[in-house]
């Protein structure tokens, strides 16, 4: 299995630009999670999906952030407009059926730098 795939691996953009991060979960996994990692706040859950439906988006910092999962094999996290404080590593993770408390498998992350 290829594992969780994220793209791009690195993104540098200017303040005010739109940023789209992409994730392909492991085939057959029903849960998909988006995390953000910063030095100040550590690893924090932004949103997660079950069977393509958003279950909990309470971690999404503000309206500039949005996430979608149009099908079982693809999800996006969009930031519009981006700000320097959005600079972080963004991880996507997936877990199998019965995802509640199942092991989450992480992608390699997208390192975002907003200038």
**Contact residues: another protein, CB under 8 A:** 31, 33, 42-45, 48, 50, 55-56, 89, 91, 93, 95, 99-101, 103-106, 108-109, 111
The nearest distance, CB 73 to another protein, in angstroms, is 20
Choice between 45 and 72, CB closer to another protein: 45
Three-state DSSP state, 86? helix
For the chain, the distance separating the N- and C-terminal CA atoms, rounded to the nearest angstrom, is 36
Min CB(81)–another protein separation in Å? 26
Reduced to 3 states, what is the DSSP secondary structure of residue 85? helix
Collapse the DSSP code of 84 into the 3-class scheme (helix H, G, I; strand E, B; otherwise coil) and give the result. Answer: helix
Q: 62-97 in b/e burial notation, b at 16+ Cβ within 10 A?
A: eeebebebeebbebebebeebeeebbbebbbbbbee
By beta-carbon proximity to another protein, the closer residue of 4 and 79 is 4
Cβ proximity to another protein: between 65 and 90 the closer is 90
Q: From the CB of 36, what's the least distance to another protein, in Å?
A: 11
């Amino acid at each position: 299995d290829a594992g969780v795939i994220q793209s791009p691996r690195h993104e540098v953009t200017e303040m005010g630009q739109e940023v789209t991060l992409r994730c392909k979960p492991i085939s057959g996994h029903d849960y998909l999670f988006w995390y953000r990692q910063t030095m100040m706040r550590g690893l924090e859950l932004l949103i997660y999906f079950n069977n393509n439906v958003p279950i909990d988006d309470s971690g999404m910092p503000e309206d500039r952030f949005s996430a979608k999962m149009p099908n079982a094999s693809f999800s996006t996290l969009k930031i519009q407009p981006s700000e320097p404080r959005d600079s972080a590593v963004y991880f996507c993770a997936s877990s199998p059926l019965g995802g509640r408390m199942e092991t989450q498998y992480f992608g390699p992350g997208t390192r975002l730098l907003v200038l």
